[in-house]
Every structure is written in C-alpha cells, then in structure tokens.
Amino acid sequence: MAFAEQQEHAVALLQPKVEEAYTTDGSLDIDGNPALKHCTGGWRACRSILGAEFCYCLAYYGIMYNLVTYLTTVLHQSNVAAAKNVSTWQATCFLTPLAGAVVADSYWGRYCTMVVSCCVGVIGMLMAALSALLPLLIKNSSTLSMTSAQEIILFLGLYMIAFGVGGLRPSLLSFGADQFDAGDPSECMNKCSLFNWYIFTMNCGSLISTTSMVWVQDHYGWALGLGIPAMVLAVGLSCLVAASPTYRYQTIRGSPLTRVCQVVVAAVCKFSMAPPADLALLYELPEDSSYMKGVQRIEHTTDLRFFDKAAVVMASDEEVAQSVLPRNPWRLCVVTQVEELKILVRMLLLWASIVFFYTGTSQVSSTFVEQGMAMNTHVGSIHVPPATLATFQMLTTIVLIPLYDRVFVPAARRLTGKEKGISDLVRIGAGLAMLVLAMAAAAMVETKRAGTAKMALEKTSIMWLVPQYVLVGIGELLATVGQLDFFYSQAPPAMKTVCTALALLSIAAGGYLNSLVVTAVSWATATGGRQGWIPDDLDKGHLDRFFWMMAGLGCLNLVAFTSCAMRYKSRKAC
C-alpha cells in the first residue's frame, strides 16, 4: 500500500510537467502530433520566419521602387503609361492578400500557402529578370517585336509576383504569431514583440532596397538588378522550408467566409422574429460534438442582437436541437459562429477609421516629394533628391522599435500591469495623433517655404522636411504595429489570416482614399481659372491649406476612432 501511494504521488508530481510539455492552443508539430513546447515554436521558429520576411521585402521592394525607370528607359513607355501600369500592379499586390488569406484559412493552411506563394513569387521574379536578359539572348530581332516580347514576359512575371505576395504577406505574419502558445502568458508577451520585429524587419529590407538594390540596377544593368531579387527570395524560401520541423501548425477549420455568410442568411430568414430574452434558447452544440472539435467556444455578447436570430431555434428546428435530424447551417447557426461575425463587424468599424492613417502616410510619396522639389535640395555640396527623405521615416522606425520593445514596454508594463504595456487601441490612437502632428508640421513648413518664395528670398532648405518624416515614422511604429497585433489577437481562431489581410488591406484602401481626396481638392479649388491648392507650380498654389485640411480631417478621424474604441468589446486573447 505504501509503495502504491508513493507511485501515485510520483505520478501526480510528474503530471503537470507532462501537461506543460505540450502547447495548450491545439497546435500540432510537422508529424501531426500535439506540439511539444521545448522543441517547437517560439523564437527558434520565428527567426527563420522573420528571415523569410526580410528576404521577401528586400526582393519585392527591390523591384517595386525602380520599376517606373525600367518601364520608361528599357521598354520605352510614356511617363503616364508607366505610372498607370505600376499603380495598377501595386494595387493588385495589396488586394491579392485577401484572396490568399481565404485560401490559407480555408484550404491549404498557412504553411503550404506560404511555400506555394513563395515559389510562384520566385518564378515571377525570374521572368522579370528574363525580360531584361532577352535582348542579350536573342540578337536578330526587330526592336518593336523585342519590346513587345519583353513586355509580355515582364507583366506575366509581375502578376505572378502579385499572386505570390497575396499568399505570402498575410500568412507569414499570422503563421509567425501561431508559434507562440495562446494559453501561455510568457509566450503571449513574446507574441506582442513579434509584431514589432516584423515591422522592423520590413523597414530594414525596404531601406536596403531603396539604396543598394537601386544602385545595382542603375550601375550594373537590369538583368542582374532584377535577378538578385529572385535569388534573395529563393534564399528566403530555403530558410522557411529548412526550419519546418521547428514550426507549430494550426488545423484548418473550414472557410471563414462561408461561416459568415451562413449567419447572415440564417438571420435574414428569421428577420420577423425577435431575439429571445433567455439566452439559453440560443442554439449551441456540446463540447464533445464533432462540429465543435478543435473550435474555441466564444461566449455570447449582448450587442448586435440582430445576428442572434441566426441561432434562434424555431419550431421546425426542434428535432435538430434534439439531435434527431442533421442541422442545416444556412438555417440554424451555433452561438460561437454568430459571435465570430459580431467580432468581425466590430473590427470593421475600427478598420474604417484606421484607413485614414494611410491616406496621410500616402503623402510621403506624393505631396511631400512635390514640396521637397520646390525647396533648396542642396545641403552644402551634397544634392539631396526629395524622394530619398523617406529614408528618415524608415530610420525612425528602425531605431525606435528596439527601444519601444526593450525599454518602453517593460516600463509601461510595470505601471499599467498589462502584458503589452499599453493596449493595442491606445497604441493605434497615439499613431493617429502622430499623423495629425505630421500634417501640421508639413503645413507650417509649407507656409514658410511659400512665404520665402513670394519674397524672392533664398529657397528654404529641404532639411526642414525631416521632422514631418520622423513624425510619420513614429506614427507607423505605433499605428501599423498596433493594428497588426490588434487584428490578429482579436480575430476568431478560424479567421486569423483573413483578419491579418484586412489590416494589410487598410494600406491599399488608404491609398485609394488619398487619390479620391486629392482629386476632389483639385476639382473644388481649381475652378474658374484658379490655380488650385496643388498646381504644378507650388509657388502659385496653397499646399499649406491642403496639409491643414488633412490635419483637420485627421482630428475628426481620431475622434471617430476614439468613440469606436471606447465602445469596442474586446475579447480576451493574446
């Protein structure tokens, strides 16, 4: 008896260690077994994922930044045609992640989607390099036919890159976040750091592309300049695949869009019904149901009651509720499924107010550059191209992210008691405020520049623009990282990649909104023979008024965001 009791005591002591050896979020290892903490996931897996992200950014931006030059100088396209082609391609690259996210969450899983997308991207970049190499391979051909062949190969390659980017962008980040156990507080804190280092890596890749990659293309030719990105992305793919045994994999839970549509259809079909006062009357399956296997149950919330109708059990559903007949998911949905849609709707309201942030950051590559072109671009004997000032934005983000992650977050954590130091919504709000300050700084510099020009004095130095670039960089550190963390952590488990893609889609939406705002301003201010606020000659316009308008709209947007954030019901997730 004494020996048996000792054995039971030993088993009881060992049992917690066995449980702690496995992840608690249902993740699996490469063989499909429950993932062991000590040999999978964590930073050991994320290092290769961040390495792949660095290679992807270096390759993608290495092609994107100088593509207009290639189209105009090599393919002899007009400035208008080249700008239009580049804009269309960039827009496609920002829209395809939504489709890639659906594929990742519904069919292939994040890892397979990343690997396949990366392969497609490498092939696309090789085709882009082939378009530059073609004249060297085929000597006896007319210039017209050669240019046509180069265009066909180039654009086929570019749109293969767009589809590769579509699967890679959302999957890399969400797969990286999957490497940290949602049920382990210490790993949750590391997950928060991942989003910071993701943006850090992205900016490092972008910075190198704007300098060294463009320099290679200008000095050593386009065949090598477009071939290097393909090789770099191939290296990133190798890093990704080589670390496969260390990854944690999440199971696929079906199409998230189908689940959302089922709730909407079921709720509309029961439009005339009132949601029940007794929540126990809403349909939910037991934990041991095959449908709920691997699905994290979400507690019912009292807002957006219209969608609760999808889970109301009608008289015709009684036999289904008693498990006599199979359930029609288009007529009766479980509470967890309804709550997934509610979470998505709440996030969409915040998403809409975040979009304006990227409308403001779009000025970095448009009106900020035009403003710099009208200033003194010489600092001593050095000529500073206006477009290169964006380097200050990238450097600000690169320098401040380690300080934020290693200094600010631990200090704020001691003060607030929160794992992230400050909440994601507070961080996003601070980023929106930085954008307002950046627009105000740009307006004040423009007022000074315009005043100097009207008095025929020496042109204002271009270095006066540095503060507004720095403020945009701080805003990106706060808002961009904050929203990526927010959309991933708040997303239902079955929609992690889709919601990550939604965060990336806000950048594209901000660019489109910026085009609409600029067009509307030009139409409204350039009537009756007036020059307008943004004429070709800025000395005859009022660019400062445009910046003040953007600052004012930014303030209104910040108020709207704050209102939505205060009403937002956060779900407990890391």
Contact criterion met (CB below 8 Å) for 510 and 358: yes
Question: From the centroid of its chain, how far is CA 142?
Answer: 44
Q: Is 461 helix (H, G, I), strand (E, B) or coil?
A: strand
Only one residue has tokens 């779009």, namely: 362
Q: Which residue, 118, 113, 90, is CA-closest to 101?
A: 113
pLDDT of amino acid 444: 93
Only one residue has tokens 């105009």, namely: 72
**Is the pLDDT reported for residue 421 higher than 90?**
no
Q: Is 554 helix (H, G, I), strand (E, B) or coil?
A: helix
- Which range scores top for mean pLDDT: 97-111, 142-156, 274-288, 547-561? 547-561
**Is the pLDDT reported for residue 214 higher than 50?**
yes
pLDDT of amino acid 18: 45
Which of 28-32, 363-367, 466-470 comes out lowest in average pLDDT?
Answer: 363-367
**Is the pLDDT reported for residue 15 higher than 60?**
no
**Topology given in CATH for the domain delimited by 340-567:** Growth Hormone; Chain: A; (1.20.1250)
Q: How far apart are CA 505 and CA 97, in angstroms?
A: 8
pLDDT of amino acid 385: 78
**Is the pLDDT reported for residue 124 higher than 90?**
yes
Number of Cβ atoms within 10 Å of the Cβ of 238: 15
What whole-number percentage of the chain has pLDDT above 70?
Answer: 89
Cα separation values, 146 from 86, 143, 374, 384, Å: 21, 5, 39, 36
Q: Read off the amino acid at residue 415.
A: L
Which of 38-42, 119-123, 240-244, 287-291 comes out lowest in average pLDDT?
Answer: 287-291
- For every residue of 22-74, DSSP letters joined together read B-SS--B-TTSSBPBTTTSSHHHHHHHHHHHHHHHHHHHHHHHTTHHHHHHHT
Domain boundary assignment for the chain: 42-246, 256-336, 340-567
pLDDT band at 293 (very low <50, low <70, confident <90, very high): low
Q: What is the dihedral of CA 568, 512, 121, 123, to 10 degrees?
A: 160
Please tell me what DSSP assigns to residue 529: T
pLDDT band at 321 (very low <50, low <70, confident <90, very high): low
**Is the pLDDT reported for residue 566 higher than 60?**
yes
pLDDT of amino acid 10: 44
At the second CATH level, the architecture of 42-246 is Up-down Bundle (1.20)
Q: Which residue, 264, 303, 269, 263, is CA-closest to 283?
A: 263
pLDDT band at 4 (very low <50, low <70, confident <90, very high): very low
For the entire predicted model, the pTM comes to 0.81
Residues 6+ apart with CB under 8 A from 244: 30, 111
Q: How far apart are CA 455 and CA 182, in angstroms?
A: 62
Q: Which residue, 200, 205, 204, is CA-closest to 402?
A: 200
**Is the pLDDT reported for residue 161 higher than 50?**
yes
Mean pLDDT score, 373-383:
82
Q: How far apart are CA 351 and CA 65, in angstroms?
A: 27
Q: How far apart are CA 37 and CA 247, in angstroms?
A: 10
**Is the pLDDT reported for residue 325 higher than 70?**
no
**Is the pLDDT reported for residue 2 higher than 50?**
no
pLDDT band at 16 (very low <50, low <70, confident <90, very high): very low
Only one residue has tokens 């919330």, namely: 301
Which of 13-22, 177-186, 197-206 comes out lowest in average pLDDT?
Answer: 13-22
**Pure H helices in 527-573:** 543-567
The mean pLDDT value of the chain amounts to 82
Tokens at residue 22, please? 């496995």
pLDDT of amino acid 14: 43
pLDDT of amino acid 206: 86
Q: How far apart are CA 45 and CA 246, in angstroms?
A: 6
Number of Cβ atoms within 10 Å of the Cβ of 419: 15
Tokens at residue 237, please? 């793919």
Q: Which residue, 114, 104, 113, 60, is CA-closest to 499?
A: 104
pLDDT of amino acid 79: 64
Side-chain-side CA neighbours of residue 429 (13 Å):
15
- Which range scores top for mean pLDDT: 51-65, 173-187, 281-295, 384-398? 51-65
Contact criterion met (CB below 8 Å) for 166 and 114: no
Mean pLDDT score, 544-550:
90
Mean pLDDT score, 294-300:
71
Mean pLDDT score, 294-321:
73
pLDDT of amino acid 534: 79
* pLDDT tens for each residue of 497-541: 888 888 888 888 888 888 888 888 888 887 776 777 877 777 787
Q: Which residue, 416, 440, 448, is CA-closest to 550?
A: 440
Q: How far apart are CA 420 and CA 437, in angstroms?
A: 25
* pLDDT tens for each residue of 426-438: 999 999 999 999 9
Contact criterion met (CB below 8 Å) for 179 and 144: no
Q: How far apart are CA 290 and CA 259, in angstroms?
A: 16
pLDDT of amino acid 5: 43
Please tell me what DSSP assigns to residue 297: P
| Helix and strand element counts for the chain (H, E) | 20, 2
**Is the pLDDT reported for residue 86 higher than 50?**
yes
Q: Give 13: exposed, middle or buried? Use CB within 10 Å, 0-12, 13-18, 19+.
A: exposed
Residues 6+ apart with CB under 8 A from 7: none
Mean pLDDT score, 487-504:
83
42-246 shares its CATH topology with 340-567: yes
Phi, psi of 332 (to 5 degrees): -145, 120
* pLDDT tens for each residue of 232-257: 999 999 999 999 999 989 888 777 78
Cα separation values, 235 from 53, 229, 392, Å: 11, 10, 28
